[in-house]
Amino acid sequence: MRWNIFRTKILTVENKEYLKTKLVGRLTAGGDLLVTASSERSQEANLREARHKLASLVISALKRPKIRHKTRPSRVSKLKRVESKRKLSLKKKTRQGYFD
């Protein structure tokens, strides 16, 4: 099955450009997206499967990644970290033997 992403009227210009970057390895020089299906014996069933594969491919390619917002550790979490480091340091100090 062949579907040209640039000639379709379903997608906006921004979505077409985004699809072009996401599916760059699957597009032909003319901008056609090729999808094949040959698991069924009938041509009709294979065409139905190819349409389903095409739809899922386009939908998954159009999903934009979530924007990650920087977060800082809270004051309490910093205090807990420093306290646990202090306890571990104290435990290791008590294990050391003093040789004179």
Say if CB 57 and CB 35 are below 8 A apart: yes
Instruction: Decide if pLDDT at 96 tops 60.
Output: yes
Determine what percent of the chain is predicted with pLDDT higher than 90.
Answer: 85
Q: What angle do CA 89, 92, 98 make, to 5 degrees?
A: 120
Chain segment 78-94, per-residue pLDDT in tens: 999 999 999 999 999 88
pLDDT band at 55, cuts 50/70/90? very high
Say if CB 15 and CB 23 are below 8 A apart: no
| pLDDT for res 79 | 97
Backbone angles phi, psi at 54, to 5 degrees: -65, -45
